[in-house]
Amino acid sequence: MSQSIAMPRPELIQVADTVARDKSIEREEVFMIMEQALQKAGRSKYGQEKDIRATIDRRTGEIRLARYLEVVEEAEEGGAAPVMETAAAMEGGVVDDELMQLFIERMQVLKLGLSTALSNEDWAEVHEIAHIIKGSASSYGYPELSYLGAEICSLYDRGHLELLPELTMDLLFKASKLLH
């Protein structure tokens, strides 16, 4: 399995803040545009047919590029192969069982923390946990969890706290399905 090395890039955060301020747009929107540009560059380098996704850590500026593969069974008698699961891959490696178990154990802890934060209406804590989920779930083949985490972070950052309970409940529900 290949290793990835990521270094903090605080200049990306400064660029995002400057562009958001100068263009009067949301900071999150700038980050999303930057991620799309990185994804496009990744596809140009590694192939347009590849499912390449980019994420930028909103606090450190760390960039992560990942290639996603569909893991399938052998097709029987020339038929279509059923999809078994989606797994994140870097340079051809897939998430192994030990790493997946660690992710599931971490998700159990995060789910408990998220539930407690929701009950206490501690939106800062909900944001912190959603940010962690956003940054890791896609790497383990759960982009829907990452998407919900990103939505929660975006709403929190824009001050739309009234929408957080419903999205947080959705995230808890989808995390529960993963854990059972």
Sequence ranges of the domains in the chain: 1-94, 95-180
Tell me which fold the domain 1-94 belongs to.
N Utilization Substance Protein A; Chain:P; domain 4 (3.30.1480)
pLDDT at 179 (0 to 100): 73
Q: What is the pLDDT of residue 81?
A: 44
Average pLDDT, consecutive stretches of 10 residues, N- to C-terminus, the chain (180 residues): 53 88 89 84 78 83 76 54 41 57 84 91 93 84 87 92 92 84
pLDDT at 96: 61
Residue 123: the pLDDT is 94
Residue-level pLDDT at 48? 78
Q: What is the pLDDT of residue 76?
A: 55
pTM of the shown model: 0.50
Which pLDDT score is estimated for 92? 43
In three-state form (DSSP H/G/I as H, E/B as E, the rest C), the secondary structure along the chain is: CCCCCCCCCHHHHHHHHHHHHHHCCCHHHHHHHHHHHHHHHHHHHHCCCCEEEEEECCCCCCEEEEEEEEEECCCCCCCCCCEEEEEEECCCCCCCHHHHHHHHHHHHHHHHHHHHHHHCCCHHHHHHHHHHHHHHHHHHCCHHHHHHHHHHHHHHHCCCHHHHHHHHHHHHHHHHHHHC
